[in-house]
């Protein structure tokens, strides 16, 4: 099973990038399933119903979230009914939405789990224990499982990769918006990357308009950041999973920008 994961989609530039590149990504990687992180899809802060529909219409089949899940209040209107939207699983019991699901594409099934880290992020339940619980449950239904671990600290993400090696097909990090150069298959067959990177404005600061971020660093004064309007880049991960074993057979980061992209 070939899977393409698109890193944090930031604002309209990010959404337009996904729409522009999906036909090319499909042609190049022949994915059976496309998953994207959408926590910054609406102006950098959360997601709404129209944008969710827009991403599904573009060919995304599942959307994972993160610390910005609740930034756009519209999500409360539809998250309980949208089975393809996955928010961090280790939020307190009773939180709206779901933290894992199975995405079906033809005869193929991919379990998707979203977890959030506890280092340099607001308090949450233990992502490691929650991962154990969910993966036990999912593995009764499918061996193919992708975990989006939305976390700040590289150490926490690397630890999760090792913790789930051989039990998840893919453990990929999101949240930092900066792609790391450590994609590999761990010894027991889990494809791993510390961060898949972001999709959206290339020349801002993590997707936001750079002047206001620089000003905030210099002055220390509060500021409200807007999504940058610059050239785009798309960052993500391609993984090929052996469906018989659930182990990854190949993994490679995807990194394209406006200057390097040559349309098919």
- Binding residues for Fe ion, rule: CB under 5 A, are 8, 39-40, 66-67, 175
Distance of closest approach, residue 45 Cβ to Fe ion, in angstroms: 10
How many angstroms separate the Cα of 259 from the Cα of each of 51, 138, 168, 206, 230?
A: 26, 41, 35, 18, 12
From 224, 258, 252, select the one nearest 14 (Cα to Cα).
258
Beta pairing class for 2-6 and 232-241: antiparallel
- Active site annotation includes 68: yes
Nearer to Fe ion, 67 or 95 (CB): 67
Distance of closest approach, residue 184 Cβ to Fe ion, in angstroms: 23
Nearer to Fe ion, 130 or 175 (CB): 175
Residue that is written with structure tokens 């522009």 in the block: 20
Nearer to Fe ion, 67 or 105 (CB): 67
Cα gap 178→206, rounded to integer Å? 7
The two tokens of residue 20 are 């522009």
The two tokens of residue 117 are 């880290």
Distance of closest approach, residue 261 Cβ to Fe ion, in angstroms: 22
Distance of closest approach, residue 223 Cβ to Fe ion, in angstroms: 18
**Strand locations in the chain (E):** 2-6, 33-37, 62-64, 85-86, 100-105, 108-116, 145-150, 170-174, 184-185, 191-193, 199-201, 232-241, 248-257
The one catalytic residue among 68, 163, 175, 177: 68
- Which residue of the chain is nearest Fe ion when measured via CB? 8
DSSP state of 141: T
Nearer to Fe ion, 16 or 165 (CB): 16
Cα gap 205→233, rounded to integer Å? 13
Nearer to Fe ion, 178 or 245 (CB): 178
Nearer to Fe ion, 1 or 42 (CB): 42
- For residue 85, the Cα-to-chain-centroid distance in whole angstroms is 11
Distance of closest approach, residue 68 Cβ to Fe ion, in angstroms: 6
Distance of closest approach, residue 66 Cβ to Fe ion, in angstroms: 4
* Burial (CB count <10 Å: 0-12, 13-18, 19+), residue 140: exposed
Active site amino acids: 68
């Amino acid at each position: 099973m070939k899977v393409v994961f698109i890193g944090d989609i930031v604002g309209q530039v990010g959404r337009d990038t996904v729409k522009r590149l999906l036909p090319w990504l499909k042609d190049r990687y022949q994915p059976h399933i496309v998953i994207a992180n959408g926590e910054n899809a609406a102006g950098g802060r959360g997601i709404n119903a129209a944008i969710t529909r827009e991403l599904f219409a573009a060919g995304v089949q599942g959307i994972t979230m993160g610390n910005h899940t609740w930034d756009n209040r519209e999500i409360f209107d539809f998250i309980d009914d949208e089975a393809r939207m996955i928010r961090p699983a280790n939020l307190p019991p009773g939180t709206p939405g779901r933290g894992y699901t199975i995405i079906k594409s033809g005869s193929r099934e991919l379990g998707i789990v979203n977890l959030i880290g506890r280092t340099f992020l607001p308090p949450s339940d233990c992502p490691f224990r929650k991962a154990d619980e969910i993966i036990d449950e999912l593995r009764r239904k499918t061996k193919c499982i992708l975990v989006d671990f939305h976390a700040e600290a590289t150490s926490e993400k690397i630890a999760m990769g090792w913790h789930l090696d051989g039990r998840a097909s893919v453990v990929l990090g999101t949240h930092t918006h900066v792609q790391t150069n450590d994609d590999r298959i761990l010894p027991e067959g889990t494809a791993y990357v510390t961060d898949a990177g972001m999709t959206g404005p290339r020349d801002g600061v993590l997707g936001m308009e750079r002047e206001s971020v620089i000003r905030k660093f210099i002055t220390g004064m509060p500021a409200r950041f807007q999504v940058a309007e610059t050239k785009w880049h798309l960052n993500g991960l391609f993984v090929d999973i052996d469906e018989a074993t659930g182990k990854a057979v190949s993994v490679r980061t995807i990194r394209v920008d406006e200057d390097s992209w040559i349309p098919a």
